[in-house]
Amino acid sequence: MTTATHLRDKFAVVTGASTGIGAAIAERLAASGAHLVLVARSAGKLDETAERLSRRHGVTVRTVPLDLAAADAPTRLAKTLADEGIEVELLVNNAGVSSRGPALDGDPARFRSLIDVNVTALTELTTLLVPAMVARGHGAVVNIASTGGYIPSPYLAVYSATKAFVVSFTQALWAETRGTGVRVVAVSPGPTKTPMNARGTRSPEAVAATVVRALAGTGPAVIDGKANALTAFVFGRLLPTRLVLAIARRIMARGGD
Ligand SMILES: NC(=O)c1ccc[n+]([C@@H]2O[C@H](COP(=O)([O-])OP(=O)(O)OC[C@H]3O[C@@H](n4cnc5c(N)ncnc54)[C@H](OP(=O)(O)O)[C@@H]3O)[C@@H](O)[C@H]2O)c1
Domain with 33, as residue range(s), is 5-253
Q: How far apart are CA 22 and CA 9, in angstroms?
A: 20
Q: pTM for this structure?
A: 0.97
pLDDT at 119 (0 to 100): 98
pLDDT at 254 (0 to 100): 75
Q: Whose CA is nearest to atom 7 of ligand 1?
A: 146
pLDDT at 257 (0 to 100): 54
Domain count, the chain: 1
Instruction: Check the CA dihedral 17-193-199-165 and report its sign.
Output: positive
CATH number of the domain to which 32 belongs: 3.40.50.720
Residue 155 among the catalytic residues: no
pLDDT at 205 (0 to 100): 98
Residue stretches of the chain with pLDDT short of 70: 1, 255-257
* Residue closest to 118 by CA, chosen among 156, 80, 172: 156
**Ligand 1 pocket, residue 255 CB under 6 Å:** no
Q: Contact, 152 vs 240, CB < 8 A?
A: no
* Residue closest to 67 by CA, chosen among 23, 24, 123, 114: 114
pLDDT at 6 (0 to 100): 86
